[in-house]
């Protein structure tokens, strides 16, 4: 008895055809997005990500970008959405419409936190970031930070996102991270985000002699191995970070030869 392949079009076949998602019109898309934005972040954020990932059937127009950017810019948890999509933008996995929306929202918040005041193309760009963080970031434990006022020449009319008067401390850090990821050079992105994380973790205020990276590293590995069921996956982010820095160091050494 021969085992002939089953026809995927026959009902009851074990071979399942991948269902294509029917994209909504922009109006339907935007109504769903506004409904998700109105929900608490725990329920709303996953919906927002899903809705934006699916997109809409209409041709993407500039006014659509502006409408979505305005809605997201007024959303209190827009920074959490931006953090997740900014990393996809760096790896080239973000769709064009979301890139445009992210660019609009990011530009608005970059003005608010004073990020555009930085000149990160200079050789001492890391020192510039450190000085900016010490000058602009709120004190640790502060709940809110007053945003930088608009200066003359910064057109409020050109921005579609309404500017809040203050940002929570965590939101300020997230937007700083999102803005740093927008730098085109991988070297600038890595050095900038490392400086931000050091500042966030308090390393910028510590005496370098007090920092013992080897003991901290060994303690982390001991905690991973000491679990009931050690999982190597917990080491993946750390190893990937080390490989990234190793690659940057190798590139720097090649340039010095």
pLDDT at residue 236 above 60? yes
Where residue 205 falls among pLDDT bands split at 50, 70, 90?
low
pLDDT at residue 27 above 80? yes
Where residue 106 falls among pLDDT bands split at 50, 70, 90?
very high
What is residue 112's three-state secondary structure? Answer: helix
- Predicted structure pTM score: 0.68
What is residue 145's three-state secondary structure? Answer: strand
Return the percentage of the chain with pLDDT > 90, whole number.
31
Q: Please list the residues that pair with 145 across neighbouring strands.
A: 167
> What is the radius of gyration, based on Cα positions, of the chain?
23
Report the alpha-carbon distance of residue 224 to residue 219 in Å, rounded: 9
- HSE at residue 65, side-chain half, CA atoms within 13 A, is 17
pLDDT at residue 67 above 90? yes
Q: Of 15-29, 35-49, 112-126, 153-167, which gets the smallest average pLDDT?
A: 153-167
The residues, any chain, with a CB within 8 Å of residue 207's CB and separated by 6 or more, are: none
CA quadruple 28, 91, 177, 151: dihedral sign? negative
């Amino acid at each position: 008895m021969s085992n002939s392949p089953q026809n995927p079009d026959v009902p009851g076949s074990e071979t399942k055809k991948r269902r294509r998602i029917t994209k909504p019109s922009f109006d339907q898309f935007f109504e769903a997005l506004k409904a998700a934005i109105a929900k608490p972040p725990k329920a709303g954020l996953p919906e927002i990500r899903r809705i934006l990932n699916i997109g809409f059937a209409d041709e993407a127009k500039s006014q659509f970008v502006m409408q979505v950017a305005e809605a997201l810019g007024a959303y209190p948890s827009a920074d959490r959405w931006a953090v997740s999509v900014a990393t996809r933008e760096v790896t080239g996995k973000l769709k064009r419409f979301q890139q445009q929306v992210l660019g609009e929202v990011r530009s608005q918040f970059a003005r608010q936190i004073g990020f555009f005041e930085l000149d990160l193309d200079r050789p001492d760009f890391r020192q510039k970031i450190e000085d900016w963080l010490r000058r602009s970031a709120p004190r640790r434990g502060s709940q809110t930070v007053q945003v930088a006022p608009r200066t003359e020449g910064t057109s409020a009319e050109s921005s579609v996102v309404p500017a809040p008067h203050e940002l929570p401390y965590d939101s300020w850090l997230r937007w700083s991270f999102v803005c740093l990821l927008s730098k085109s050079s991988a070297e600038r992105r890595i050095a900038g985000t490392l400086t931000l994380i050091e500042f966030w973790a308090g390393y910028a205020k510590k005496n370098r002699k007090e920092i013992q990276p080897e003991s901290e590293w060994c303690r982390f590995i001991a905690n991973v191995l000491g679990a009931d069921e050690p999982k190597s996956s917990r080491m993946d982010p750390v190893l990937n970070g080390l490989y990234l820095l190793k690659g940057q160091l190798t590139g720097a050494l090649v340039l010095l030869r």
